[in-house]
Structure 1
């Protein structure tokens, strides 16, 4: 069947426009597949042999002391007990600062901007290009572009079921220029499904967080950091809801409430049970078990990271990331070579 040339032209121009961003997303995505290991390497804890962790209020106090003009937003507990705790703080002007805290002593081991912590920088670049709602929208558009490229590329390449095996490769005697184009098509065809899956789930992760232009602005109270006793009492109330669960992180809201995410291994690596507690009223205001959380990320994130099929799932995702790097470079290079050859003739 004759394929419309307009499809190939559209494929090429979409690829040329989005190639730099696709390359960036592939690189940061590959890094994030090993985020836990990189966190443990970059932020090793100086924890004693007993492995005890200081109270949450001590971690919070250390972070606030490092940046007294900012307000605490979130604290991540040590990853598998092998890394430092990690705090995020924000100023009224949106300035973000970070602190790594030893969980055994409560001493700040490192602090600074996001560039002091490359593992966090990779996450923020991959998720929203460090640009808030605009970055989220661009990332979502990039996901749409990748989905279109995967589908259009396979459709344009498809040689028919009987010829698939023969077309997956390049003849040894083919010119280098043609080999590059053939391998570009073959790699894209082989990993098209994984790339399409990454594109669609990436959009599902970013689109819900993009504020609607017509939505009314939400007025938030002036943030204030609760005192140490209130923090520990609130955390204790949250822990009592899931006494056998390990806390993953705590969010500190401007209204004085704490939202504690407890790991829920029954639902997979990313599953959490959420308990929200008011530090002012000292009572639990909501409990959201994993099974009752219907947010899109609950389904999309494990697919996006490959964890749906277990710990080995990140390897096909890593292969797709490397393939996307190759495609984002080889496609424009093949186009440039063909343009140069056309001018030369």
Structure 2
């Protein structure tokens, strides 16, 4: 038990601040649609085939000004968002008129905050660091509950320490942590699994990672150059004909060596905000290459697709957003107080007074 306590304290002192920042940024991002206050952000969502086709034609017709991707407005946010190479982009109303544009993600707090929370501004390397931190956070939750059990008779729930002394902070940390343990475990486990897909083998079965990888693969298509002129309207009409009850969520141009344009849709029973019902069109001709219905995916894949909505509070409405906000703020408090109490409120070593009758030269005979 002493070793577990030592590991809990030292790892908390070393990585607590990173977890605190992840919790705080996550709590803010949960409400991103509410605090991006721009004209038309409160407009009702438009999903008619004609309107979607018209705005797509308007924004993608000019090859010189064509965005890399377009995410359409949703029920909580009335603006479409374009992304352009180099971190630029724009918000447009649902008729395709630009409301606000930017040349770098640093111009928009919701973009750089998202990049920080997911990648620490360091791409795949930063994402791996965050995944490792989430796994360590899970260790904190489990070890904290074990260590709390010894002191359970002194439990007293407090949102804030009674005093800003180390004993009071430790007690509040311990008792608040055990109350919030289920929510913290949910946030940390879903976050870690989104980074490290092999973790799905632990709770979805040994074959889960391979099944998910196979089901999520894009269809094979020969490399093709994106044509200057394509029938964008026909792509939208084709998608709506195949899936008449699904929202059209995003349209993305080919990336890397891919020769396909990707259109994502969200069926009514899907939790993912942009859905996993997907169509692929040839970049040079616009012809439909393949399509995938989310309802036909294996159950393991459907379960995996619930992790992001649970982690980012994209399901459950305002009530669940508030719950995940509480989880993020708790992680921020526990992590920051752990670092502060470990490095700045550590107990001073007690100096023992010399034993009586020592420290004096012996009398000469």
Indicate yes or no: 2:188 matched with 1:199: yes
Query: CA–CA distance in 2 between the matches of 1:330 and 1:174?
Result: 12
TM-score (norm: length of structure 2): 0.75
Post-superposition Cα deviations, 1:59-107, rounded to whole Å, max 9, x if no partner, equal 2357953xxxxx74321112338533211122xxxx3322222332433
Contact 1:114-1:121 within 8 A present in 2 as well: yes
Contact 1:86-1:98 within 8 A present in 2 as well: yes
Query: CA–CA distance in 2 between the matches of 1:191 and 1:107?
Result: 43
Indicate yes or no: 2:23 matched with 1:26: yes
CA change 1:47–1:61 in 2 (3 A) is farther
Deviation at 1:183, TM superposition (A): 0.5
Post-superposition Cα deviations, 1:186-240, rounded to whole Å, max 9, x if no partner, equal 111111111111111101111249xxxxxxxxxx998854435333333332232
- Aligned to 1:80, what secondary structure does the other structure show? coil
Query: CA–CA distance in 2 between the matches of 1:247 and 1:256?
Result: 21
Q: Residue 336 of structure 2 is aligned with which of 295, 304, 329?
A: 329
**Unaligned ranges ≥5, structure 1:** 66-70, 210-219
Indicate yes or no: 2:241 matched with 1:240: yes
- In our comparison, the structure showing a higher alpha carbon Rg is 2
CA change 1:256–1:235 in 2 (3 A) is farther
- Aligned to 1:287, what secondary structure does the other structure show? strand
Contact 1:127-1:206 within 8 A present in 2 as well: no
Moved more, 270-279 or 46-55: 46-55
Indicate yes or no: 2:230 matched with 1:229: yes
Q: Could you say which residue in structure 1 is the equivalent of 2:327?
A: 320
Contact 2:42-2:76 within 8 A present in 1 as well: no
Contact 2:138-2:185 within 8 A present in 1 as well: yes
- Aligned to 2:4, what secondary structure does the other structure show? helix
CA change 1:58–1:199 in 2 (3 A) is same
- Aligned to 2:70, what secondary structure does the other structure show? strand
State the structure with bigger RCO (CA 8 A, min sep 6), 1 or 2: 2
Query: CA–CA distance in 2 between the matches of 1:49 and 1:29?
Result: 25
Query: CA–CA distance in 1 between the matches of 2:29 and 2:304?
Result: 16
Q: Could you say which residue in structure 2 is the equivalent of 1:182?
A: 171
Query: CA–CA distance in 2 between the matches of 1:158 and 1:50?
Result: 53
Indicate yes or no: 2:292 matched with 1:288: yes
Q: Could you say which residue in structure 2 is the equivalent of 1:80?
A: 75
Contact 1:77-1:247 within 8 A present in 2 as well: yes
Contact 1:204-1:296 within 8 A present in 2 as well: no
Q: Could you say which residue in structure 2 is the equivalent of 1:68?
A: none
Q: Could you say which residue in structure 1 is the equivalent of 2:155?
A: 167
TM-score (norm: length of structure 1): 0.79
Q: Could you say which residue in structure 1 is the equivalent of 2:349?
A: 342
Q: Could you say which residue in structure 2 is the equivalent of 1:265?
A: 268
- Aligned to 2:196, what secondary structure does the other structure show? helix
Q: Count residues with an aligned counterpart.
A: 318
Post-superposition Cα deviations, 1:9-52, rounded to whole Å, max 9, x if no partner, equal 1112211221222122112211221122234x246459799995
CA change 1:14–1:129 in 2 (3 A) is same
Contact 1:72-1:225 within 8 A present in 2 as well: no
**Unaligned ranges ≥5, structure 2:** 199-220, 353-365
Q: Could you say which residue in structure 2 is the equivalent of 1:213?
A: none
Q: Residue 149 of structure 2 is aligned with which of 145, 158, 162?
A: 158
Moved more, 314-323 or 151-160: 151-160
> RMSD value over aligned CA atoms?
3.4
Q: Could you say which residue in structure 2 is the equivalent of 1:55?
A: 55
Q: How does 1:36-185 map to 2 (within 5 A)?
A: 36-39=33-36, 41-42=37-38, 44=40, 52=51, 54-61=54-61, 64-65=64-65, 72-80=67-75, 82-90=77-85, 95-107=86-98, 109-159=100-150, 163=152, 166-169=154-157, 176-185=165-174
Deviation at 1:124, TM superposition (A): 1.9
Contact 1:46-1:104 within 8 A present in 2 as well: no
Moved more, 198-207 or 274-283: 274-283
Post-superposition Cα deviations, 1:250-307, rounded to whole Å, max 9, x if no partner, equal 1211444222111222133534421222243433222222223427640311332345
- Aligned to 2:261, what secondary structure does the other structure show? strand
- Aligned to 1:191, what secondary structure does the other structure show? helix
